[in-house]
């Protein structure tokens, strides 16, 4: 399976910085890298248009960090699917831990978003992961299964789907999960997917949480790790390109 290297720019960058970073990344990545790598950038909604326009002639894809599961409508402050399509998005993050924990996004809304994205032709990147308390209580597998079950309840035939395992305690903390922790979590996600989805064996499962050029090669070699979702280390294109080359 081709490895997916995804950048989550969160709430960083101005228009000019986004354009410059995207162009720099295009210049840094030779065409042949895309034989083994898919690269997706997730900028904030106000930067989607400039990033999507800049990557148009490259093989880099552009996705949204969030949307509201409607085509359009009266939903103040939200972005609808028609707007994402118009801007050139092909992917969307759903259920990122910052949206679950800071924006209090509930599992029901996450399921609606996955369903709507699949129906609308976009690829959802469903983010799941346990908190430190849940890990200490030995609940990792149960939490992952619950999050998968609730997010995919209506979409048991989903084939165009990416899952990202992002332990909450590893996001933005510099504390990357250890190889055994990643192996165990990815094995349990793969097992759930294979048991519950006809295409479960082919769904890419990414790892996210403090991925850096120094630790990514080891992570990408682990069983059932089909790519990485990178926050902090994706902001500078030169650093991010090292992860793409890993």
Q: Tell me whether residue 156 is exposed, middle or buried, using C-beta atoms within 10 angstroms of its C-beta: 0 to 12, 13 to 18, 19 or more.
A: exposed
In angstroms, what is the minimal distance from the CB of 162 to ligand PGA?
13
Active site residue 104: no
d(CA 219, CA 158): 26
d(CA 18, CA 127): 24
Stretch of 62-70, 110-118, 138-146, 227-235 contacting ligand PGA, by CB under 6 A: 227-235
Q: Which residue, 83 or 210, is less far from ligand PGA as judged by CB?
A: 210
Residue 232 makes contact with ligand PGA by CB under 6 A: yes
Residue 229 makes contact with ligand PGA by CB under 6 A: yes
DSSP string across 188-202: HHHHHHHHH-TTGGG
Active site residue 101: no
* 229, β-bridge pairs: 6, 208
- Within 1-30, the residues that bind ligand PGA by CB under 6 A are 8
The residue annotated as part of the active site, out of 98, 105, 130, 166, is: 166
Spatial CA neighbour of 12 closest among 235, 237, 241: 235
In angstroms, what is the minimal distance from the CB of 209 to ligand PGA?
5
- Within 192-221, the residues that bind ligand PGA by CB under 6 A are 208-211
d(CA 109, CA 49): 25
Going residue by residue from 169 to 188, which x/- string records binding to ligand PGA, judged by CB under 6 A?
--xx----------------
Calculate Rg over the CA atoms of the chain.
17
Residue 230 makes contact with ligand PGA by CB under 6 A: yes
**Active centre residues (catalytic):** 96, 166
- List residues binding ligand PGA (CB under 6 A): 8, 166, 171-172, 208-211, 229-233
């Amino acid at each position: 399976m081709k490895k997916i290297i995804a950048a989550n720019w969160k709430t960083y960058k101005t228009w000019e910085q986004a354009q410059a970073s995207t162009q720099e990344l295009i210049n840094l990545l030779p065409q042949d890298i895309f034989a083994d790598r898919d690269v997706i950038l997730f900028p904030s909604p106000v930067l989607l248009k400039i990033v999507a326009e800049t990557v148009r002639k490259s093989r880099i894809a552009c996705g949204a960090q969030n949307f509201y599961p409607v085509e359009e409508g009266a939903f103040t402050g939200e972005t609808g699917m028609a707007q994402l399509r118009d801007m050139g998005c092909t992917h969307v993050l759903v259920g990122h831990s910052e949206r679950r924990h800071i924006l209090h996004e509930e599992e029901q809304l996450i399921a609606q978003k996955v369903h709507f994205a699949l129906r609308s032709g976009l690829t959802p990147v469903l983010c799941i992961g346990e908190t430190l308390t849940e890990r200490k209580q030995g609940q990792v597998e149960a939490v992952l299964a619950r999050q998968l079950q609730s997010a995919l309840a209506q979409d048991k035939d989903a084939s165009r789907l990416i899952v990202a395992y992002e332990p909450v305690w590893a996001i933005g903390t510099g504390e990357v999960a250890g190889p055994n922790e990643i192996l165990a979590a990815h094995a349990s996600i793969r097992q759930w997917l294979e048991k519950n989805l006809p295409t479960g064996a082919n769904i890419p499962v990414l790892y996210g949480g403090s991925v850096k050029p120094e630790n990514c090669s080891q992570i990408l070699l682990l069983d059932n790790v089909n790519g990485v979702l990178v926050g902090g280390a994706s902001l500078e294109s030169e650093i991010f390109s090292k992860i793409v080359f890993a």
